[in-house]
Amino acid sequence: MRLDTGNVLAAKMNAHRHQWNGSICAQPQGWNCGADATFRENYCAAGVSRCFHIDVFKPVSPRFVVPDTTVIQAVREQPRLLDDQILVFYGGRFGAQQGIVQGDAEHALYGLYRVKDAVLDDSRTPHRLLVEPHRDGWAMLPRLKLGQATLRSVQGVAYLKQLRAKTLADIIAQALEEVGAQKLDGWTAEYERNLKRASEQLPQWLRKAEEAWAKLPAPQALQRGVQAPAFPSAMAEKLSKLKIVTAPPAAAVPAAQPVPEPVPAPLPEPVSAPPADAPATEPSVSVEEAPLEPEQAVPGAAPPATAQPEANTVAEASAGEDITAPAETPATVEPEPLPQPVSEPEPVVAPIVIPEADASAVLAERLDATLITALSVAFLTKSLVILTGAPGAGKSWIASRLLDDARRERTVIVPVASTWRGREDLLGYVNPITGSFEATEFTHFLCNSEEAWNRGDRRARLVVFEEFNLSQPEHWLSDLLVRLEYDPELSADRKVVLGGSAIAGRPSRPCEVVLVPSLRFVATLNNDHTVKPLSPRVLDRAALIEVSSSGRVALERAGLMIAEELADLVDDLNDLIAPRGAAFSVRSARSLQRALAANALKPVHALDLVLAQEVLSRVRLLAGDPRDEQLLSRLQAWSQKPECAELTVCAARIADWAEALAAGRDVFQA
C-alpha cells in the first residue's frame, strides 16, 4: 500500500448527531448515522455497543476500529505501516433532524488522527485493527462539506482512500474561521485547542509521515500453511536411536582405462551377538553402497550380481537389545538385462519475465511497485495482458516500455482499426492472382519470432495491440485465442495455418507459423462510448490490469516537474472533472512539457492554454441537469482561487459555460 505524493489516508465512518460522546445514539432507528438499518435495530437499539466508531473521539483513550480485511492484511505484512501516518475521517453529510442525507453527492469531514500505532486484535472473529492516535495528535472538525471527487482510491486496499494534504490544510483553516465567526452547537474550547494544534503541527506531521514510510522494511512473507506438530510414538523413538553408516563412494573409473572384469560381491557375514558381559552400545547398521543406476553404469560392463532377500521385514530395536542378523541362504542370481540407452531430457525453458530488468527500472521511476508486480504476475500466468483505464492514463507508455528493446527488434505495435472483422485484417490474405499469402507486419513478426526460437534465442517477443476494443476482438483474434490455450511444448497444436502456396517474400518456409513460447501479447483498452465491450471468452483468456492516474501522477509519469502551487491546481481540477472522462492525462502533461521546453511562455500561461485546449475541451454539461450545475459551481469556485488569477483562458471558458447553462443551452465543446 502506498499513497501518492502529498496525500493523506482517509477512512469512512458513521456520523452521530452531536459529535462523539462515547454513548450509543438515543434514537438509533430514527437517526441515520450511515450504518445499516438492521444493524441499528439489532445492536444500537438493544444497547449493544458494537459500533465501530463509538470510541473515535473519546476524551480518554480514543481509538478507531478498522474491520476491513485488506487493511488488516497490509498491516500483517508490514506491522509499522500506519505508524505516524495522518488518518482523516469522512462520511455522509448530515443534518440536525434526519441524520445522513440519502443520495447526497457530498461527504462531510469529521476529524483526523496522527496514528501512534495500529494493533491487530485477533481475539475475536472477524479480526479487527485498533488504531490509536498520539496523545495530542487528533482533532475534530465542525460540520464541513467535502466533495466526493476529492477522494481517490489507494492501490492494494478497498477501505481506505486518499485525500490531498493541501485540501486538508485548507479545510482546517476554513473550520477555524467558521469557529471564530459563530457559536457552533456542541463545540467546546477543547475541540478548538485540538484543531489549532493540528493546524500548526500539520506540516511537521506530514514530514514525519513521509519519513516513516521511507523507513519501512520490505513486507514480511506470511506463512500460508499450518505445520502440524510431531506426534511421538514408540516406533519413532526406537528408529531415532538407529545409527546409519554409509560406505564412502567408490572412485569413478577413468574412461581411458580398460574396464576390469566384474567380480561377484561376497555375501555379508552374519553379525554375531556380543558377549553377555559386554557393555550396552547403540546398534549400528551398515548399509552397502547401492548399485549404479542404468544411466550411470559403465558401458560394456556386465551388471553386478545382487542378492535378493526372501522378504522385506521391518525390525524394531532399542538401545541395549541384541541384534543378530539371520544367516542367508545363497540364492541363484539371475543376470539383469543390459541397460537401454537413455535419451537426453528436454532442456528446461526459463520462464519469460516481463518487465525485463532495465525496463523494470525505468517503470519503477514512474509507477507504483504494486502495478509493476501485477504486470510481472500477469505475464507469467497469461499470454495476453490487457491494460485498461481512462484515455491518457499512460497505458501505451507502459506497454511500449516492457522490454529492453530500444531498437524495436523484439516488439511490434499493431493499431487495431474499427473496420476489422476477421483474421484477414490481422494476419493477411491469399492473393487470388499469385496464390501466395500476403502477410501483414504482424504475421512477419510471428515468423521472425519462430525462427529466432529455433535458433535458440529464448528472449521475449512482445506484440502491442493499440485500441484493442475498437472492434470486436473475438472476430479477428479468434485463431490466436484458441492456439494460445495449448501448452507451449505442443507446437503442432499452436500452429496457425495461413493458406496459399507460400508466404510472399518468404518462399523457403511453409505457409504456416507456430506461436512459440517466447511470444507475449499486451493490449490497451479504453473505456468510452467509441469502443466495444469485451466478451467473457476474451476476459477468461487474459489478465486485466487497471491503470489509474491523477493530475500529479500524470505529471510524474511524463517526467515533468513544475511548481508546487501549479501542480496543486492541476490536481484540484482533475479531481473535479476526472469522473466525467476529462482528466488531465499523461498526454496533457507531455503537451505542457513541450510548451515549457520552447521557453516562449511563463509556466502558468503555458498551463492555462493546455488546460483550456486539452482538458476543459472534453467537458460536456447539460442544461437543467442538477449534477452538471453542481459541477459548474465547483469549477467556478476553482477558477476564483487566488492561485488561478493568471489562468485567464480557463476562467473565461468556465464563465461562458455559466452563461450558456443559464440560457438553457447545453455545453458541447466539439
Q: What is the pLDDT of residues 349-366, one digit of tens each?
A: 567 899 999 999 988 888
DSSP 78-98: STTTTTT-EEEEEEE-B-SSS
Closest C-alpha to 638, from 103, 630, 593? 630
pLDDT of residue 338: 55
Confidence of residue 447 (pLDDT cuts 50, 70, 90): very high
CA dist., res. 624 & res. 468, Å (int): 36
Residue 223: pLDDT over 60:
no
Query: Secondary structure of 475-488 in the HEC alphabet?
Result: HHCHHHHHHCCCCC
Q: How confident is the model at residue 329 (pLDDT cuts 50, 70, 90)?
A: very low
Phi-psi region of 290 (alpha: psi -120 to 50; beta: other; left: phi over 0): beta
* Predicted pLDDT of residue 275: 46
Instruction: Identify the bridge partners of residue 132 per DSSP, sorted by sequence position.
Output: 117
Residue 244's pLDDT is what?
54
Give 148 or 42, the one with higher predicted confidence.
42
pLDDT of residue 277: 47
User: What's the pLDDT score for residue 612?
Assistant: 92
Per-residue pLDDT, 122: 80
Higher per-residue pLDDT: 258 or 601: 601
Q: What is the pLDDT of residue 437?
A: 93
609 pLDDT tier (thresholds 50, 70, 90) = very high
- The per-residue pLDDT of the chain, averaged, comes to 78
**Helix (H, G, I), strand (E, B), or coil: what is residue 512?**
strand
Which residue, 652, 654, 619, 616, is CA-closest to 634?
654
Residue 415 β-bridge partners:
466
**Does pLDDT of 475 surpass 60?**
yes
Asked if 638 contacts 577 with a C-beta cutoff of 8 angstroms, the reply is no
Residue 268 has pLDDT above 70, yes or no: no
CA 24/CA 403 separation, integer angstroms: 58
What does the pLDDT average to over 595-623? Answer: 89
How confident is the model at residue 517, as a pLDDT? 93
The per-residue DSSP string of 405-421 comes to: -TT-SSEEEEE--TT--
Nearest to 94 by CA among 32, 23, 147: 32
Instruction: Report the percent of the chain where pLDDT is more than 90.
Output: 25
DSSP type of residue 99: B
Of 3-12, 23-32, 95-104, the range with the highest mean pLDDT is 3-12
Burial letters for 55-72: b for 16+ Cβ neighbours within 10 Å, e otherwise? bbbeeeebbbbbebeebb
For residue 122, the Cα-to-chain-centroid distance in whole angstroms is: 26
Residue 77 φ/ψ, nearest 5 degrees? -75, -30
- Contact in structure between 333 and 306 (CB atoms under 8 Å): yes
505 torsion bin: left (phi>0), alpha (psi -120 to 50), beta (else): left
Per-residue pLDDT of 651-662, as tens digits, reads: 999 999 999 998
Element (H, E) at 350: none
Reported as type and span, the H/E element at residue 385 is strand 384-389
pLDDT band for position 598 (cuts 50, 70, 90): confident
Between 184 and 381, name the one with better pLDDT: 381
Half-sphere exposure of 386 (CA within 13 A, CB side): 18
Q: Is the pLDDT of residue 65 over 80?
A: yes
Instruction: Output the CA–CA distances (angstroms, integers) from residue 14 to 20, 99, 118, in the order listed.
Output: 10, 10, 20
Check pLDDT > 70 for residue 493. Answer: yes
Cβ 419 vs Cβ 615: under 8 Å: no
CB 65 within 8 A of CB 53: yes
Peptide bond into 533 cis (omega under 30): no
641, pLDDT greater than 70: yes
- Longest pairwise C-alpha distance within the chain: 119
- Residue 348: pLDDT band with limits 50, 70, 90: low
- Kindly tell me if the per-residue pLDDT of 192 is higher than 60: yes
Res. 385: pLDDT tops 90: yes
Residue-wise pLDDT for 389-430, tens only, equals: 878 788 998 999 999 998 999 999 999 998 999 999 999 999
| CA atoms of 285 and 273, how far apart (whole Å) | 14
φ, ψ for residue 11, nearest 5 deg: -125, 135
Task: Answer yes or no: is pLDDT of 251 > 70.
Answer: no
Say if residue 625's pLDDT is above 70.
yes
* Structure confidence at residue 243 (pLDDT): 58
How many CB atoms sit inside 10 A of residue 502's CB? 16
Instruction: Output the CA torsion 251→256→262→265 (10° steps).
Output: 0
Q: What is the pLDDT of residue 553?
A: 83
**Average pLDDT of 565-576?**
87
Among 143-157, 252-266, 383-397, top mean pLDDT goes to 383-397
Q: In this structure, what C-alpha cell is assigned to residue 349?
A: 525453458
Q: Would you state the pLDDT for residue 530?
A: 64
pLDDT digits (tens, 9 = 90+) for 12-47: 887 654 454 556 677 777 777 777 778 778 777 777
195 close to 178: Cβ distance less than 8 angstroms: no
DSSP codes of every residue in 111-149: EEEEEEEEEEE-SSSS-EEEEEEEEEEEEEEEEEEEEGG
Per-residue model confidence (pLDDT) at position 110: 86
**% pLDDT > 70, the chain:** 74
Amino acid identity of 301?
A
Is residue 6 predicted with pLDDT exceeding 90? no
Candidates 500, 480, 483, 516; CA nearest to 436 is: 500
